Amino acid sequence: MFRNEPITDFSIAENRAAVETALKLLHQRIANNEIYACPIINGKELRNKEVFERHDPADFRLVIGRTSLATEADADAALASLKAGKDHWEETSVAERAATLRRIAAQMRSERLALAALIIREAGKPWREADADIAEAIDFCEYYADEMLRLGSPFKLMDVLGEDNQYLYQPRGIALVISPWNFPLAIACGMTVAALVTGNCAILKPAESTSLIGYAFAKIVLAAGVSPSAFAFLPGRGELIGRRLVHSPDVAMICFTGSRAVGLEILNSAATLGLGQTTIKKVILELGGKNAIIVDEDADLDEAVKGALNSAFSYAGQKCSACSRIIVVGGAYEPFLRRFCDAASNIIVGPAAESGTLLCPVIDVASQKRILAVIAESETNAHAAFKGSTPTEGNYVPATIFRDVATSSSLWREEVFGPVVAARQAASFEEAVALAIDSQYALTGAVFTRTPSHIDYAKRKFKVGNLYINRGCTGALVCRQPFGGFKLSGVGSKAGGPDYLLQFMEPRAITENTMRRGFTPQST
Ligand code: NAD
C-alpha cells in the first residue's frame, strides 16, 4: 500500500550534519567547475556551443554549473530517436515499466543528499523545501507505479451471453514534458514518469534555471533501465526548442507546468495541425494561482499566523500554491494583521544553503527586478503594513504585506510569484469567501475558522482545486492532496491523484462475439 516518503527531520543533529557535508562536497565540485548538464539523445550526451551559466541566487557572481543547450536539430534528432523506439517501450510489460519507476525512486533515495544539495544551490530552495521536493518525486514514482498496475490490464465490462467486452488503455505516443524551475525535481519527475509508466516515450525539457537538477534526474531515469530510445533530455531555451517541440507533428501530448502566458501559447499551437500529423495533441496545463487564506473572526490566530506565514513566505513565495491574498473577517482584522506583521519581522532571511532560512533569494535577477517593481508600484496605491529587510548581496526581495488592498488592483488580481501579500477585511465569512473566489484562478485556498457551519459553507462555496481547512495552503502530498486547479489555473486532472495517469492514455473498447462455432486449428 502506498505511503508517502518520510521527510527528513532536521531537528536531528546527524541529519543536519549530513546535509552540511553534501553541501561542502557540492561546493568543492562547483569550485572545480565540475557541474554541468547537456542534452541526452538515445543515451548519448551531446556538447553544443551555446552554454547557459547558472548563477547562484545568493551570489550572482558565482557560476554553479553550465548547461550545454540543445539546438533545434537536437530536438528533431530526439524526436526521430523516440519514433524509432516507441513500439519497443510500448510493448515493455506494465510490470517492468512499474518496476522501472520503483528503481528510479530507489536511486533518488540513495542520492537524496546530493540531490538536496544541488536543489539548494541551483534552485535556491531552503533545506526543508529541497528535501520535500525529493520526497515528492519519490512519491510520484511509487504512486504512479501502483496506479499503472491497477490500470494496466484490460477491464471486463458488462457480461452478456455470447459477448465478451473489454476496456483497455493504450499509450498516446511521444509525450513532451516541459517543466518549471520551482519544483525542479518533483514536477519534472512526476510528469516524466507518468508518461513513461503509461507506455509513452518522453522528452523532458527542463526550465533553463534548473537544468542541472533535470540532468541529474535524466541520468537516474536511464540508469534505472528506461530504454534510451524511449527517453530524451533536452535542456534548452523554451522559446526556441520548447516551441520547436510543441509544433512537431510527432508529439502526441504535451504536459506543461509553468506560466499562464506560455501555457496558453502551447494550447493554441497544439490546435494547429502540422504536416503529416495524425493525432490531435492532448495538452495538460498546470498554471498559476492567486491563492487566498481566509481568517475567520473566531479563528485560532496562533494557527492562522503560522499557516499564513509559511504559505506566503517559504521559498520566497515562489510556489503556484503560495498564499498571496489574506481576507480577515470583522474584528479579527487588526489583531491578525498586527501579529502577522510581527511574525513576518522575525522570519529568517538568508541564503538557502543556511539551515534555518525561510525567506531565500528569488530565482534570478530578472525575477527580483520584476517583484521589486510590483512592490514599488503597489506602494503608490496601497499601504504597506510591513516590509522586511534583506541582505544587499543576492536576489533578495523583502517580505511585504499590504493592507486594505483594493479588489480592482493588479496586486489583488495578478499572480506575483514572490513574497508579497495583499490583505483586506471582509464584513462576514460569506463576503470573505466571495472575495476569495472572485479570481480568474482557482488553485489553492485555506480557511481558519472554529465555526462548523463556516467549514461546511467553505466546502460548498470556496471552489478551488485544493482547499485546506485550518491549515496553510501549500504542501500538497501525493495521494493525500492530489494537486491542481481549474479556471485559468489549468486544464487536466490532478497530479498525484487517481485520474492523473488516464490523461496519458487512450481508452479502447473491444467486443468479441463468442457465439461462433469453434476456432481454426493453429500450429503453435
Ligand atoms: P515559464 O512558463 O516561464 O517556464 C516554464 C517552462 O516553459 C520552462 O521550461 C521554459 O523553458 C518553457 N518555455 C518558455 N517559453 C516557452 C515556449 N514559448 N514554448 C515552450 N516552452 C516554453 O514558467 P516558470 O517561470 O518556470 O514557472 C513559474 C510559473 O509556473 C508560475 O506561473 C507558477 O504559478 C507556475 N507553476 C504552476 C504549478 C502548478 O502545479 N499549477 C506548479 C509550479 C509552477
| Residue 47 within any structural domain of the chain | no
Q: Are residues 300 and 405 in the same domain?
A: yes
The pick from 183, 254, 257, 284 for probing ligand 1's pocket by mutation, whose C-beta has the most ligand atoms within 8 angstroms, reads 257
Residue 324 resides in a domain: yes
The confidence score (pLDDT) of residue 143 equals: 98
User: Residue 87: inside a domain, yes or no?
Assistant: yes
Check whether residue 280 and residue 298 sit in a common domain. no
Q: Mark whether 302 and 266 lie in a shared domain.
A: no
Q: Which of 321, 363, 86, 316 is nearest to 211 (CA)?
A: 363
In the predicted structure, residue 516 carries a pLDDT above the cut 90: no
- Asked if residue 298 and residue 399 are part of one domain, the reply reads yes
332 domain-assigned: yes
Angle between helices 186-197 and 94-110 (to 10 degrees): 160
496 shares a domain with 417:
no
Q: How many CA atoms lie within 13 A of 348 on its CB side?
A: 11
320 is catalytic: yes
Q: Whose CA is nearest to atom 31 of ligand 1?
A: 259
Q: What is the DSSP letter of 119?
A: I
Strand 174-178 relative to strand 486-487, pairing: unpaired
Domain count, the chain: 2
Amino acid identity for residue 512 in this structure: E
Does 24 map to a domain?
Answer: no
Over range 11-31, report the average pLDDT. 98
422 and 500, same domain (yes or no): no
* Core vs surface per residue 136-152: b (16+ CB within 10 A) or e: bbbbbbbbbbbbbeebb
**pLDDT of 173 over the 70 cut:** yes
DSSP annotation of 329 = E
DSSP letters for 216-228 = HHHHHHHHTT--T
Which ligand 1 atom is nearest residue 243's CA?
Answer: 19
pLDDT score, position 159: 82
**Catalytic residue among 255, 320, 323, 473, which?**
320
300 and 249 in a common domain: no
Containing domain of residue 222, as a range?
Answer: 72-287+489-508
Contact 489, 257 (CB under 8 A): no
User: Is 28 part of a structural domain of the chain?
Assistant: no
Q: Are residues 233 and 375 in the same domain?
A: no
**CATH number for the domain harbouring residue 380:** 3.40.309.10
Pocket of ligand 1 (CB under 6 A): 178-183, 187, 205-208, 238-239, 242-243, 246, 257-259, 262, 265-266, 286-289, 320, 415, 417, 489-490
User: Which residue type occupies 82?
Assistant: L
Query: Do 299 and 381 have their domain in common?
Result: yes
What average pLDDT does range 465-480 have in this prediction? 98
Q: Is there a catalytic annotation at residue 286? A: yes
pLDDT, tens only, 327-381 = 999 999 999 999 999 999 999 999 999 999 999 999 999 999 999 999 999 999 9
Indicate whether 108 and 219 sit together in one domain: yes
Tens-digit pLDDT profile for residues 199-250: 999 999 999 999 999 999 999 999 999 999 999 999 999 999 999 999 999 9
Q: Is 212 helix (H, G, I), strand (E, B) or coil?
A: helix
Reading the block at residue 164, the C-alpha cell is 465478451
CATH classification of the domain holding 114: 3.40.605.10
pLDDT digits (tens, 9 = 90+) for 452-463: 999 999 999 999
Q: CB burial class (10 A; 0-12, 13-18, 19+) of residue 162? A: exposed
- pLDDT of residue 524 exceeding 70: no
Q: Which residues contact 510 (CB under 8 A, 6 or more apart)?
A: 154, 165, 166, 167, 168
If asked whether residues 211 and 328 sit together in one domain, one would say: no
Q: What pLDDT digit, counting tens, does each position of 407-422 carry? A: 999 999 999 999 999 9
My answer on whether 263 and 398 are in the same domain is: no
Residue 36 in any domain: the answer is no
Instruction: Let me know if residue 149 belongs to a domain.
Output: yes
